[in-house]
Structure 1
Amino acid sequence: MTRETGKKITYFSFASLVMIVMMVLPIPDSIRNAGKGVLTQEGQIAMGLLLFCLVLWMTEAIPFHITGMLGVVLLAVFRVDTFKNIVSVGFGNHIIAFFIGVLILSAFITKSGLGKRISVYLLSRTGNSTAMIIFGFMLVGALLSMWITNMAVAAMLLPLGVAILEEEGCLRLKSNFGKALMIASVWGPLIGGIGTPAGAGPNPIAIGFLKEIAGVDLSFTQWMMFGVPAVFLLLPIGWILLMILFKPEIKHLKKTREELRHEFDNYPPMSREEKLTLVIFLITVVLWLTSGLLGRLLGIAIPTSMPVLFTATLFFFPGVTSLKWKEIEEDVSWSGIILVVSGISIGMMLYQSGAAGWLSFVLLGGIGSLSPLVRVGAIVLIVMILKVALSSNSVTATIVIPIMIALADNLGFDALSITLPASITASLAFILVTSSPTNVIPYSAGYFSIRDFAKSGIIMTVFTTIIVSLVIYTVGSFTGLY
């Protein structure tokens, strides 16, 4: 047995012990009845299983998605509900179709070369100023990440950034330009991911919970009303912060602006695959933005998942593309899909058993007395701090969103007013490299340290809390949410 295996067995044993203790712990009625929240026996068992999964998610004793699957089975074994009901609220959720569609679209953008072409084009517009290149990386990352997964965008930016740094002779861990450029390759995708429901994993999970639990139907454009302004306010703030903390030691690249533009001009013409991918991507965006109008014209409900699942099938129509499913399948994160479906099941059981309501009142019941703006800020800050411990955005949403919906119910608030701040913040992991797989990709290049990332991330977290809170409260005030 290796030392690593021994550690994992220890973590698994500890998780099991925590679960059992929580399940059999005698809880007085005075604690079980917390305001409007009542912790039933089933709720206590669900809490134990949640702690079991939480320890495994945090320690990665077994893969994230396998933990989720195990949690679903144990919910049935310990009779929180029937296995059929538990699975139906997760695996039968339309949000799964959304994930599959977005991942297929993302895979085609990557495989066809369209994503790299867009990146090279936008970066050719920045010129040879190192300050503008850093901003260009953030802007490219944010714009792409609104529509495809954060990890895919970070993976696209990484080789472009490393090529620039190596050509300039920037030393790893010593070059401020290297630190700023690689951290920008993280921050851009993280910030852009909050712009649309398609941008990050927690977004559709939150939308699904709002629909299933609270009966709130949050449309694609409604999300963008809050997300897009936050993105474009955070980008310049993040860029200025990087320029202050890691002021580049060189102001201009060796190549001139004309040489950079010449490189793009000599880029190969768009292939048939790129053109088709671009057309289908644009069709998807138009359908997302006009789904409300189209639904009324057709007399049907068009949820967020429907347009992208339809357009994902277009790629495989006869004669459309030469790329085969086997090639696309390689870039579709099936482990991510398993984690999402199992997470939805666990989150729904946490709510339906009453555990989320009880936990929300115990932990956050006091925020009901705060003013709306301060309340939004408190929720945003709490979730961003939670991201330090949770290394999966989907796991964060699975745990936090049902608790927030239950809290709104207990306090008599609109579910969206409590849940939206948490939903938008669930993927913003600025402090620890390990808080998101997106962070790990540029970190692997070796140009910045964990300390560099944390130092800048703590300050960025403060600014993000202020900006996101102000945006949500301001837009919410105009729309009648606050």
Structure 2
Amino acid sequence: MLSKEINRADIRQKSKQRHLTEETKKLIIFIVIMVGVFLSSFITPPEGLESQGLRMLFIALAAAILWMTEAIPIGVTALVIILLQALYGITPLTNGLALIAHPVNAVVLVGYLLAGALVSSGMDKRLSLTIISKMGEKTSRLMLGIMFVTAFLSMWMSNTATTAIMVPIAAGILTMAGAKPLKSNLGKALFIGIAFSANIGGMGTPTGTPANPIAIALLHSLAGIQLSFLDWMVRALPLVIVLLPVSWLVLLKVYPLEIKVVEGGLDAVKKQLKDMGPLKNTEKKVMILFSSAIFLWLLDSFIPLPKDWIYIVAVFLTIILVTPKIGFMTWKHAQGLIGWEVLFLVGGGLSMGAGLKATGTIDWIAGLLSSSLGQMPEGLAMAVITAATGLGITVFCSLSGTATTFVPIAIVLALNFGWDPIAFAVAAGLASSFAFLLPANAAPNAVAYGSGYFKTLDMFKAGAIMIIFSIVIQGVLSGFVLPFIF
């Protein structure tokens, strides 16, 4: 008994030491990065870039490294950006902090609350089970059904929350099928498919993932162009519609399913649906809410409405969601659902974009790229930007960070050469969600990885193919197909 207690104490001590070692590494990284930013004041800027522009470039590089290493929380990294810009006189602190309350965060905020309403009502599970029940017992079709549900839900709520909803449903199907973690191709394909489809679905609407409203906000601030909800959807949905079945086929090819039919699986799903009974009042309310949200968001594409209608609707829905008797939750409950660090991240990202523009840094970077991209046809140049952004997510491991970095460059390049800034902004914004390679690239990947059904290398094998397909398909759509439509 005494030896067991000693062992436990030893394990706790070693765990504590490992934690301290990790914390020390993070502190060293943070200090080195801050020293690097400080030293930028003593470096002669390259030709064409002012001293303030060089400092802003170092701040952007520091933010990128902090996002990649997570030496400090990503929300705090946003505050570091705002603080450094204020200290160097690039952006007043008041202006930087004000961007945390930028209207774009109203869309991000309501996305979290809509997800909470869906989950608390039980409508998420009913919708998932209903679609799965229509797909039959063939595992390939069940997998397609689960991926379709995941993508659809991710269009309207957090990709992470959607993945968390689908993981237990998928795990139950795999248990019925007798699939073994790490050994079953069905398990690998299904859970990687959930991660892929969450990222793909998130591209479809401005509420799908923070990278989308960031792209919309940057387009407005840098080019003076305001996209409506429908404007984004009609440009993004073609990619979603094509990529979803492509990802399904890629996974079936990379991981041929060893289990073809889930015996009794369909019966179990139908039993769960039956046990849920008829639609409850709360489920009816949430369906009305979702329908109203979609209707209101699309309305400004058909009739003249106040400026920033997309954000006005988001604020209105937020109020409704927490209004007693009418809504679905108390404000205290709502606060636990909100990804506060993402709101800070969006604000910091917008502040960085404004700083890069104000100091001429974006124009300087665009100038460096002009010699190569400027000689290309517009469609090919857009495809190159798509490829650079799509590969960038693998380095940044943050959809918002990737969008913040690449979307401004895409917009300025388009403006410099007389190309369509909307097409370039949307292309870079969508490519920010090409998080297919590693579990660490995006939160949905990490949640699916936590199921224990696949290894990092398993996702890498399918993800490498998906990134190539995504870059090519998005390049063709945005560079050569959509220009004939818009």
**Is this a same-fold pair by TM over 0.5?**
yes
| 1:232-251 paired onto structure 2 within 5 Å | 232-251=241-260
Q: TM-score, normalised by structure 1?
A: 0.93
Change in Cα spacing, 1:408 to 1:171, as seen in structure 2 (3 Å) is: same
Query: Partner of 2:298 in structure 1?
Result: 289
Whether 1:54 and 2:64 are equivalent positions in the alignment is yes
Aligned with 1:32 (options 47, 61, 66): 47
| 1:77-156 paired onto structure 2 within 5 Å | 77-88=87-98, 90-156=99-165
Is the deviation greater in 338-347 or in 400-409? 400-409
CA distance in 1, matches of 2:186, 2:381: 38
Whether 1:20 and 2:38 are equivalent positions in the alignment is yes
| 1:443-462 paired onto structure 2 within 5 Å | 443-462=449-468
Q: TM-score, normalised by structure 2?
A: 0.92
Pairwise CA distance, 1:370: 1.3
CA distance in 2, matches of 1:116, 1:63: 32
Query: Partner of 1:354 in structure 2?
Result: 360
Whether 1:8 and 2:26 are equivalent positions in the alignment is yes
Q: Which amino acid aligns with 2:349?
A: G
CA distance in 1, matches of 2:316, 2:400: 24
Change in Cα spacing, 1:322 to 1:230, as seen in structure 2 (3 Å) is: closer
CA distance in 1, matches of 2:239, 2:327: 36
3-state SS in 1 of match to 2:172: helix
Change in Cα spacing, 1:277 to 1:225, as seen in structure 2 (3 Å) is: same
Pairwise CA distance, 1:302: 4.3
CA distance in 1, matches of 2:41, 2:257: 54
CA distance in 1, matches of 2:153, 2:265: 26
Is the deviation greater in 334-343 or in 443-452? 334-343
Query: Partner of 1:187 in structure 2?
Result: 196
Query: Partner of 1:263 in structure 2?
Result: 272
Whether 1:64 and 2:74 are equivalent positions in the alignment is yes
Query: Partner of 2:215 in structure 1?
Result: 206
Pairwise CA distance, 1:114: 1.5
Pairwise CA distance, 1:474: 4.3
Change in Cα spacing, 1:178 to 1:427, as seen in structure 2 (3 Å) is: same
Is the deviation greater in 198-207 or in 310-319? 310-319
CA distance in 2, matches of 1:307, 1:454: 39
After superposition, give the CA deviation of every residue in 1:109-155 in whole Å (9 maximum; x if it has no partner). Answer: 12222112211111111111110111111111111111111111111
Q: Which amino acid aligns with 2:35?
A: L
Q: Which amino acid aligns with 1:50?
A: A
CA distance in 1, matches of 2:206, 2:481: 17
Query: Partner of 1:465 in structure 2?
Result: 471
CA distance in 2, matches of 1:138, 1:365: 42
Pairwise CA distance, 1:397: 1.2
Change in Cα spacing, 1:403 to 1:376, as seen in structure 2 (3 Å) is: closer
Query: Partner of 2:392 in structure 1?
Result: 386
Whether 1:326 and 2:335 are equivalent positions in the alignment is no
After superposition, give the CA deviation of every residue in 1:416-443 in whole Å (9 maximum; x if it has no partner). Answer: 2322210111112011211111110010
Pairwise CA distance, 1:159: 0.8
Pairwise CA distance, 1:315: 2.4
Q: Is the 8 A contact 1:171 1:178 kept in 2?
A: yes
Pairwise CA distance, 1:476: 2.9
Pairwise CA distance, 1:63: 0.3
Q: Which consecutive residues of structure 1, in runs of 5 or more, have no partner in the other structure?
A: 34-38
Is the deviation greater in 193-202 or in 415-424? 415-424
Pairwise CA distance, 1:185: 0.8
| 1:399-414 paired onto structure 2 within 5 Å | 399-414=405-420
Q: Is the 8 A contact 1:141 1:189 kept in 2?
A: yes
Q: Is the 8 A contact 2:324 2:330 kept in 1?
A: no
Q: Which consecutive residues of structure 2, in runs of 5 or more, have no partner in the other structure?
A: 1-16
Alignment coverage as a number of residue pairs: 468
Residue identity over aligned pairs, in percent, reads 30
Change in Cα spacing, 1:104 to 1:259, as seen in structure 2 (3 Å) is: closer
| 1:404-443 paired onto structure 2 within 5 Å | 404-443=410-449
| 1:213-224 paired onto structure 2 within 5 Å | 213-224=222-233
Change in Cα spacing, 1:434 to 1:322, as seen in structure 2 (3 Å) is: closer
CA distance in 2, matches of 1:87, 1:323: 28
Pairwise CA distance, 1:99: 1.6
CA distance in 1, matches of 2:212, 2:257: 35
CA distance in 1, matches of 2:370, 2:449: 35
Q: Is the 8 A contact 1:191 1:231 kept in 2?
A: yes
Pairwise CA distance, 1:410: 2.8
After superposition, give the CA deviation of every residue in 1:8-57 in whole Å (9 maximum; x if it has no partner). Answer: 12211221233234342213xxx422xxxxx2221111111112211111
Q: Is the 8 A contact 1:128 1:256 kept in 2?
A: yes
Q: Which amino acid aligns with 1:450?
A: T
Q: Which amino acid aligns with 1:13?
A: I
Q: Is the 8 A contact 1:388 1:431 kept in 2?
A: yes
Is the deviation greater in 178-187 or in 466-475? 466-475
3-state SS in 2 of match to 1:330: helix
Query: Partner of 2:379 in structure 1?
Result: 373
3-state SS in 1 of match to 2:302: helix
Query: Partner of 2:14 in structure 1?
Result: none
Query: Partner of 1:36 in structure 2?
Result: none
Whether 1:171 and 2:180 are equivalent positions in the alignment is yes
CA distance in 1, matches of 2:210, 2:329: 26
CA distance in 1, matches of 2:265, 2:324: 45
CA distance in 2, matches of 1:171, 1:190: 25
RMSD of aligned residue pairs (Cα, Å): 1.8
